[in-house]
Amino acid sequence: MSRIKGSEKTGGRQAGTPNKATTDLRQWVFALIDDNRSMIENDLKSITDPAQRLSILERYLQYSLPKLQSVSIEAQIEAQVNAEYSALKQLLTDAPDEAVQRIADKVMELSTQKPEE
């Protein structure tokens, strides 16, 4: 019987625990590539078609470098605002008097600054 949606997880791997089989295989591939560097370099030099050579290099990079995901400016700004909001919310919860004082200090600082021309 399947568990009810929203109920507490019982058993299995904890979230974030890497899969041992995948980790072992990945380490084996890294070692295989690392141990055969000179042979791989010689094989790449023998390929005359630049497009094929680049295609092979690209496939090797998939196993050695993580792919980077593009992040939009909007997503970065939203993440920063969320982090600042969370910090302010935590400060208001933990030390409301200090939070009010910080806000008052910031307002005073901003009100005494000269406007940029």
Of the candidates 14, 30, 34, 33, the one whose C-alpha atom is nearest the C-alpha of residue 22 is 30
Domain ranges (residues) in the chain: 20-64, 73-112
> Along the 117 residues of the chain, how does pLDDT read in single tens digits?
577 787 777 777 777 777 778 888 888 888 888 899 899 889 989 999 999 999 988 887 876 677 777 777 888 888 888 888 888 788 788 888 888 888 888 888 888 887 665
Using CA atoms, how far apart are residues 77 and 57, in angstroms rounded to an integer?
35
Whole-model pTM?
0.39
Using CA atoms, how far apart are residues 98 and 90, in angstroms rounded to an integer?
12
